[in-house]
Chain A
């Protein structure tokens, strides 16, 4: 018995050595092959696909897959996506990122989903010299991690002030209450921006309340807010929690408008909260009702493919893959450094979010649109 085990182990180790050798051979062949014809490349995707935020990962990978089919059909570049699950956890994000980076075939990374995850994966990618682009990481300081780190999602520091300013002007608000999720870098960063901006504009902050991801009862916080009678509620929440918050607030008789951050911006809010979602104000790069054939085409395709309307995360992912494809086309080779340089050069690329450029840090230059939910749909807020 013992002996046969030993033999099996020996066999396995020999096989592994052989496979390792075979792998390294393969890779050298693969990189030298790529001259002439369309550039073909593998891109690693790190996405939040299981756990409380799996809805984001779902939207994001749907966006990628839709863009992938179109790009490969066009044939300028051939892309293959290798999708890994981060489960919304830093350690798992890092593990899968390292796994992807260690394969020389992979020229770039897309994701991870959360800013928290990007904070650990970004520096690692930068050291390894592999371009990485976040499609949903909106916290401050992400592209400043290093010169290989990009993003195509507009940061909260751009979106929130735009929404807040318009809302305050419209309603003549003077007193606000702030509500935010304190267990997530994204909602926390949104809160920091909200607080700073509210103080900047000379608004009185009556109270600051917190909640945690996946909470189902917000009555205690909302009762407190109701009692203080603010003019406006600022909520830095992801849509899953945000929609429930609005629902419970309306039930309690709070009819105030809500100003939300990027994560609050999703058609799912209307689906979950129904009428209670009326009066949510968000600034966003993504407006699904925009009168643009490109946008409408995307919405229609997405709906037939996945059965519901795309949200901002799907749209950003969709555009991100197009940006990568453009970078690869301009670089001409499937090489990490060449791709990085090509990405940094991208200017005024037409996407479904609008005209897109990177600034010198690899951050987004784009004009957000301010929207409000009215009559059961997102509309432009004037």
Chain B
């Protein structure tokens, strides 16, 4: 179907026998805002990594903007922008340099890139700070810069993996305002994951609830609330996924991340 910007059929991802994503299928229509909700370790980030060509699926057919993520990965890469769960800016470069770097990686003509960078940095209110090193930015400013960067190459889809994690309510609202406006004006498809269920309830047209690598429920937030007789989407979420706390396997990189957090 031409109207689907993301199509996932029977996606399975195994890591050394451990099944992280267990045969899921879903689609996202053009210009939709969709949220992926699930407890820790449910397979959200793995799915996003597969959609963005960072990981290869074990089996399954995945298409983004009509292109296959394995056989047409460069076309897929041009089609999406991404804001990662943890920041991916170069701290020792300035905001402008980070943007410029991105423009070159995506082969944008220099003049076009400069104009677009100015436009986007103004849009996220960072133009005045363009020549400051990113290491002097606050968490919220970094996020805004990452969003601006993700939009620089005119993507059709914007993936955001927990974009508002660790931000104050003011910044969170600001960020969602940007994204909603963008979705309305530019018809960009937005696909995000979050642990703040109320954000998904407010912003997403459709949500997928994923647990143990499977999509256990999907639909518009109101529908899901109605079928589970819940007052809020968070209640729905807890009813569907249970109240037990999930343990995630911690690898070396997470340990390092933790240490870095403590140091700051």
Pair from one complex: no
Residues of A within 8 A of B (CB): none
Residues of B within 8 A of A (CB): none
